Amino acid sequence: MSDTEPQDGLAAAQARFEAAMARLDRSVRDLGARMRQLNRIEVDTQRLVHERARLATELDKTAARAKRLDDSAHDVSRRLVEAMETVREVLAKAES
C-alpha cells in the first residue's frame, strides 16, 4: 500500500463529504423557500376566508334590503290599485 492511496481515499472522502454538504445546503435553502411560499399561501387563504365572510354578510344584508324593497313595492302597488278602484267608484257614483 503506497502513501498516495490513503491520501487519495481521504481526498475522495472529502470530495464526497463536500458534495453531500452542498446538497444538504441546497435542500435547506429549497425547504426554506417552500416554507416561505407555504406561509404566503396560508396568509392569502386566511385573507380570502375573511373576505368571503365579509362578502357573505354584505350579500345577506343586500338580499334582506332587496326583499324589503320588493315588499314595499308590492304594498305600494296594492295601495295604488285600491286608490284607483276608489276613484272609479267615486266617479261612477258622481255620474249616476
What pLDDT, on the 0 to 100 scale, is given for residue 2? 60
Q: Which three cell numbers stand for residue 24?
A: 444538504
What pLDDT, on the 0 to 100 scale, is given for residue 3? 62
Q: Which three cell numbers stand for residue 56?
A: 357573505
In this predicted model, what pLDDT tens digit does every residue of 36-52 receive, in sequence order? 999 999 999 999 999 99
Q: How far apart are CA 96 and CA 87, in angstroms?
A: 14
Mean pLDDT score of the chain, rounded to an integer?
A: 94
For the chain, the structural domain boundaries read 1-68
Q: How far apart are CA 14 and CA 90, in angstroms?
A: 112
Mean pLDDT by 10 residues, the chain (96 residues): 76 96 98 98 98 98 98 97 96 88
Residues present in the chain in total = 96
What pLDDT, on the 0 to 100 scale, is given for residue 20? 98
What pLDDT, on the 0 to 100 scale, is given for residue 5? 81
Residue with cell 463536500: 18
Q: How far apart are CA 40 and CA 93, in angstroms?
A: 78
Q: How far apart are CA 75 and CA 63, in angstroms?
A: 18
77-to-26, 64, 80, 81 alpha-carbon distances in Å: 74, 20, 5, 6
User: Cα dihedral angle (71, 76, 77, 82), rounded to 10 degrees?
Assistant: 130
